[in-house]
Amino acid sequence: MQKEIFIPDSGNLLPYGGEVRLYPAFYAKEQADRIFEDLRGGLAWRQEPIWMFGKQVMQPRLTALYGNPNQPYSYSGISMDALPWTSVLDEIKKNIEKFTGCQFTHVLCNFYRDGNDSMGWHRDNEAVLGRNPTIASLTFGVTRVFQLRDYPSKKNKVEVPLSHGSLLIMAGESQHLWEHQLPKTKKVNGPRINLTFRKLLM
């Protein structure tokens, strides 16, 4: 769908140690609106517990995992079984595979109901993703600020507004040297859906 048109990108947003690129208009508004509605109503959203500092707490967002069968995905102390691809998720996967030249096996879907929902500082560095994973992150709904910072020093914060229809690619060494989060905010009140496409090694 996208392949014949040139999609401008931000250039590398990281000053060193990996690559993060933003394609603000990967999907045009009408298409992004349609995808948002389909994902909101069509995915099996659940609030899941995770382990944090030795105790179980509910995640401050809803999640769903889709992907190739027989390959469960473990992160933050929970193991999730992937549901089979829906037609919209499969359509998006094909688009970004064509665009990036990478293959993806799973998509972790996050639903941030409002500005109180969030995701804390982390790296997507599970061994099953391999050493330098390419992660494709798509946003639908309200714009939220995504933050990265140098992992060892907790300095050099980079802020990236992720808007409706945008694609963010994290690649190279970005999951070693940088961590990222989606902080809470009082500035927005609407819902946001984020999809992170990943390739799990068998």
Ligand X SMILES: O=C(O)CCC(=O)C(=O)O
Binding flag, residue 124, ligand X (CB under 6 A): yes
Binding flag, residue 134, ligand X (CB under 6 A): no
166's contact among Fe ion, ligand X, none, with CB below 5 to 8 A by partner kind, is none
Q: Which residue is nearest to ligand X (CB)?
A: 194
Residue closer to ligand X (CB basis): 5 or 133 = 133
Quick one: which of 195, 8, 202 has its CA closest to 93?
Answer: 195
Q: Which of 146, 151, 178, 197 binds ligand X (CB under 6 A)?
A: 146
Asked if 181 and 122 touch (Cβ cutoff 8 Å), the reply is yes
- Which whole-number Å values give the CA distances from 44 to 54, 111, 117, 126, 138, in the listed order? 28, 11, 18, 24, 18
Q: Helix or strand or coil: residue 183? A: coil
Binding flag, residue 19, Fe ion (CB under 5 A): no
Asked if 50 and 119 touch (Cβ cutoff 8 Å), the reply is no
198's contact among ligand X, Fe ion, none, with CB below 5 to 8 A by partner kind, is none
Binding flag, residue 38, ligand X (CB under 6 A): no
Q: Using the structure block, give the residue that is written with the tokens 């061994």.
A: 127
Residue closer to Fe ion (CB basis): 33 or 124 = 124
3-state secondary structure 116-157: CCCEEEECCCCHHHCCCCCEEEEEEECCEEEEEEECCCCCCC
Binding flag, residue 64, ligand X (CB under 6 A): no
Binding flag, residue 178, ligand X (CB under 6 A): no
**Sequence-separated (6 or more) residues with CB below 8 Å from residue 58:** 47, 48, 49
Q: Which of 108, 142, 169, 171 binds ligand X (CB under 6 A)?
A: 108
Q: Scanning residues 92 to 131, which ones bind Fe ion (CB under 5 A)?
A: 124
- Contacts with Fe ion by CB under 5 A lie at 124
- Contacts with ligand X by CB under 6 A lie at 108, 110, 119, 124, 137, 146, 162, 180, 182, 194, 196
